Amino acid sequence: MFDGVHIGHRAVFERAESFDEHGAEAAVFTFDSESLSDKHGKSYRYVVPNSLKLDMIRQAGIKNICCADFSELRNYEAEEFVKVVLAGRMNAVKVVCGPDFRFGRGAAGNVDSLRKYGAKYGFEVSTVDPVVVDGNVVSSSRIRELLSEGDVKKANALLGYSYKIKRSVEDGNHIGRTIDFPTINQSFEEGQLIPAYGVYATSVVIDGKQYDGITNIGVKPTVEKEAKPLAETHILGFSGDLYGKTLEVSFSDFLRPERKFDSLDALKNQIKTDINKRLAE
């Protein structure tokens, strides 16, 4: 699915781009991330929204992308998927994948069956060895585990970039302004994986300039009841109106878990501590 577009995925892209046969161009087939909420009967949470995933695939040098709705193809048997999608829609002459690639209804197809169908429908199969970091195979599932634990440093090592969110800035309750720490609020998309609640060291790019930030992911228990999870970022050294703008916030480290404070003064003092810790990095 290329969820997260991590360094293992980029190795697949590089292999595909290395082939130049019969005028064929490198292309990627993927599923719309938002259509994967119930993949193979299991609840699924994606690392990045579909629009950001497609942007990153293009930035990796792939110009041709076929992005399908999973619900439209989920009942295709393995051979039907190969015939209709890979041989038909993609007109593939060579298919590049990882050794654990699965496809078709119930993930019944594997690399061996892909080679068999490739011989029948006119394409070759090339597999890319797994990328290993610190003794662990890079995978989207491992990255999801790390983010769920708040370990963005290790997640970033597997991603090959800093984990990020890119969302429109929403209006909030403005409590941050009352304690001298204004923030921007960004919500997560439905079905998107939400990292462990807590405060993170982040950076934000505004009009081409990068600013340091601290971001709280969670439900703001000191000031809210039954709130939906948000990413709330205080941008160091910036003053201005950002409501309605789409901003990219990149995460570099986990500073502390989210907690409820007895008063706004206690919260304010903790934010000062968080900022000092951020600046010391």
Residues with a known catalytic role: 232
Q: In sequence order, what are the beta bridge partners of 42?
A: 39
Where are the extended beta strands (E) located within 88-208?
94-97, 124-127, 132-133, 136-137, 164-168, 184-187, 198-206
Distances (CA, A) of 186 to 66, 76, 95, 171, 173: 29, 37, 38, 9, 13
* Type of residue numbered 95: V
Task: Say if CB 30 and CB 65 are below 8 A apart.
Answer: yes
Where are the extended beta strands (E) located within the chain?
27-31, 38-39, 42-43, 64-68, 94-97, 124-127, 132-133, 136-137, 164-168, 184-187, 198-206, 209-218, 230-235, 246-257
